[in-house]
Amino acid sequence: MIKNIISEVTGDVADRIALETLVKRGPDRSKEVRRLLDAGREVMRECGTDSDPRVADIVAAAGLSNDAFYRHFASKDMLVAAILEDGMERLKSYLTHQMAKDPTPEGKVGRWVKGVLFQAIDDDVAPTTLAVLWNASKLGGGASSGPPSASASLSSLLVEPFEQLGSSAPELDAALAAHAVVGKLSDDLWQRARPTDAEIDHVVAFCLAVAARAD
């Protein structure tokens, strides 16, 4: 799109050169953001729920400058919100991949539940997820919408299997089930508890019952 704009600039050399520079630097800017996201997540993990990560520590871990940080994020809160959103997108991609392995709607729901609750089981994932959630819980209210809802983002994956299982309101039922499962995940993370196989099976059965309910 920017290249198309450049082709339309004919009278101002300064504008043309500025736009060409923007195009050339685009990939580097994207890499900067990724380094800040990854570094921010790692520093949060190291701090845990005992201390707030500092911008200086994040910048140092990313190997970048303060100028680079504030080029992309107006505040640390904005970085935290971006890390939370990035994490949810990663989880959503992982769940999509796992659900695709099973052709049945029951199997897809089961894989979705197990994939979500796995975030409280894995020794590497659990402390990182908890640290990000802890930082996200402290976000200020200045943003128009606040941090994105994890359950709302992930519930869309349940709509199709819920519909196949006979739900008369698949979107609403999927949202309610996702809210319950993400709530269970949050409780387990805060309590440093690992859901047992029996608990996971119970949650799967709960979600299937929600999907199959009759009005």
Cβ neighbours for 198, distance < 8 A, ≥ 6 positions apart = none
Q: So what's the pLDDT on residue 199?
A: 97
pLDDT in tens for each of the 215 residues of the chain?
Answer: 444 444 444 456 655 545 665 565 565 678 889 999 999 999 999 999 989 999 999 999 999 999 999 999 999 999 999 999 899 999 999 999 999 999 999 999 999 999 999 999 999 899 999 999 999 888 865 443 444 567 888 999 999 999 999 999 999 999 999 999 999 999 999 999 999 999 999 999 999 999 987 56
* Distance (Å, whole) CA 94 – CA 115: 8
Task: Return the pLDDT at 2.
Answer: 43
Q: How far apart are CA 182 and CA 151, in angstroms?
A: 6
pLDDT tens-digit readout, 49-60: 989 999 999 999
Ordered structural domains, the chain, with CATH:
1-73 (no CATH), 76-215 (1.10.357)
Encoded amino acid at 25, one letter:
R
DSSP 8-state code for residue 54 = P
pLDDT for the residue 138: 83
pLDDT at residue 151, as a whole number: 82
1: tokens are 């799109």
Q: Between the CA of residue 142 and those of 78, 81, 92, 98, 147, what are the distances in Å?
A: 10, 12, 27, 36, 11
Residue 95 CB coordination number (10 Å): 21
Give the whole-angstrom CA distance, residue 47 versus residue 43. Answer: 6
pLDDT for position 31: 87
Calpha distance 208→167 (Å, rounded): 10
Reported as type and span, the H/E element at residue 164 is helix 150-164
